[in-house]
Amino acid sequence: MWQPFTEEHEQFRKLVRDFAEKELAPKAEEWEEAELFPNEVFRRAGELGILGAHYPEAHGGSGGDYWYSVAKAEELPRCRSAGVTMGLLVQSDMATPVIGDLGTKEQIDEFLAPALAGEKVAALGISEPGAGSDVAGIRTHARKDGDDYVLNGQKTFITNGTRADFVTLLAKTLPERGAYGCSFFLVPTNLAGFSVARKLKKIGNKASDTAELFLEDLRVPKRYLLGEENQGFMYLMQNFQSERLIGSASALMGAFYALEFSVAYGRERTAFGKPIIKREVWQHKFVDLYTKCEAAKAFVYKCVDRYNDERYVKQEQVSLETVKLISMAKILVGDLVSEVMDSCLQFHGGWGYIEEYPIARAWRDARLFRIGGGTSETMRYYLAKLMGL
């Protein structure tokens, strides 16, 4: 049987599991109530080597392959707070990969290495009030002025946004070219003209901070342009693959955990004289859900294997075939996770609707996955184009 994880991967998995269960989970309730987890979590994750395991040593990482990131994404949900998991994954797999791909040595030393060490908090600035999944519709623009770019605009739905030390931000540098006139910038949040307009209140993932940001005549030195000017959209499409793939792996494992604690609940909860897990209707339901999750896991692993081979072994760009498969995986996992969470909440009956039971939070938190990183509808639209439909 094919086994992608080596003994070293499994040792790393245990490290992340212990971190999640012993250091994070005991504080999950407190952080959910506060709607924020402390920056110390980033520093501790960096100290343990969790954030940079799949980055080259020259970038401040441990030199591992992408399977290390998958192991991390699968174990972090054991912390029992999707907000904490999301904040850490944005730090390591969404706001920073593009820096590793494109950054100069100076940019890597100033931004990426401290982020992987947990010393600087990173955010990804793409979405805007009028442009979410439709990236081409962004209106934030950057105008050259001597040795600087002057940025004006607004970003929203930005995870880690209230406390980020820098934002990996997309802006239009050639607006008349639409999506193909965008550029990436590394934007320190201590620059004049940067402000956090407000912290957004969400229905789930409450321990993570989500912000609306304003940029008003914000001057960014040319040395903070990431990659080539006007190539940002192409860079983003590559960066999205890591975001969608690691999100799929994490969300799917969250579904497995929901099944796990629901079955445990069903062994203890009795109705009409016997444990509810002994009711045939629920036994069949759980068999079906476990089967679907195992099938989805095999498909996600197929995508990871292709992505790892192209990006880490061959050090190439992600192929269109792999992009297609990753988009399919995101759709598949998004729909399946919603089904799992809804079924598990129903299984808990009235208690599933009570905050003190973990399924209530899991149900709320999981809903984001069909929206974030590209809605399921956008994925289907994009796939239809790729497939010539």
Q: Which residues pair with 170 in a beta bridge?
A: 184
- Among residues of the chain, what percentage have pLDDT more than 70? 100
Half-sphere exposure of 147 (CA within 13 A, CB side): 2
| pLDDT at residue 308 is higher than 70 | yes
Concatenating the DSSP letter of every residue in 300-344 gives HHHHHHHHHIIIIIS--PPPHHHHHHHHHHHHHHHHHHHHHHHHH
Q: Which residue has the tokens 């934007």?
A: 187
| pLDDT at residue 32 is higher than 70 | yes
| pLDDT at residue 225 is higher than 80 | yes
Give dist(CA 351, CA 241) in Å, integer: 38
Helices marked H in the chain: 7-18, 28-34, 40-47, 66-75, 82-89, 97-102, 105-107, 113-116, 232-268, 280-308, 320-347, 358-366, 376-386
Concatenating the DSSP letter of every residue in 236-261 gives HHHHHHHHHHHHHHHHHHHHHHHHHH
Nearest residue to 243 (alpha-carbon basis) of 123, 351, 382: 123
- Among residues of the chain, what percentage have pLDDT more than 90? 93
Mean pLDDT, the chain, integer: 95
| Residue 210 backbone dihedrals phi, psi, to 5 degrees | -125, 125
Give dist(CA 382, CA 241) in Å, integer: 13
Q: Which residue has the tokens 């598949």?
A: 332
| pLDDT at residue 352 is higher than 90 | yes
| pLDDT at residue 134 is higher than 80 | no
- DSSP 3-state of 153: strand
Q: Which CATH architecture has domain 232-386?
A: Up-down Bundle (1.20)
Give dist(CA 289, CA 266) in Å, integer: 15
| pLDDT at residue 30 is higher than 90 | yes
CATH of domain 123-226: 2.40.110.10
**Active-site residue set:** 243
User: Model confidence over 233-263: pLDDT tens digits?
Assistant: 999 999 999 999 999 999 999 999 999 999 9
Give dist(CA 93, CA 307) in Å, integer: 14
User: Model confidence over 165-174: pLDDT tens digits?
Assistant: 999 999 999 9
Q: Buried (b) or exposed (e) across 343-380, using 16+ Cβ within 10 A? A: bbbebbeeebeeeebbbbbbbbbbbbbbebbbbbebbe
User: Model confidence over 288-300: pLDDT tens digits?
Assistant: 999 999 999 999 9
Place 178 in a pLDDT band, splitting at 50, 70 and 90. Answer: confident
pLDDT value at residue 181? 94
pLDDT value at residue 136? 77
Give dist(CA 118, CA 88) in Å, integer: 9
What is the longest distance spanned by two Cα atoms in the chain?
Answer: 79
- DSSP 3-state of 186: strand
Task: Give the mean model confidence (pLDDT) for residues 156-177.
Answer: 96
Task: Give the mean model confidence (pLDDT) for residues 122-143.
Answer: 89
Task: Give the mean model confidence (pLDDT) for residues 172-185.
Answer: 92
- pTM for this entry: 0.95
pLDDT value at residue 121? 98
Equal fold, 7-121 vs 232-386: no
Task: Give the mean model confidence (pLDDT) for residues 96-109.
Answer: 97
CATH class given for the domain over 7-121: mainly alpha
Concatenating the DSSP letter of every residue in 23-46 gives IIGGGHHHHHHHT---THHHHHHH
pLDDT value at residue 130? 85
| pLDDT at residue 1 is higher than 60 | no
The domain locations on the chain are 7-121, 123-226, 232-386
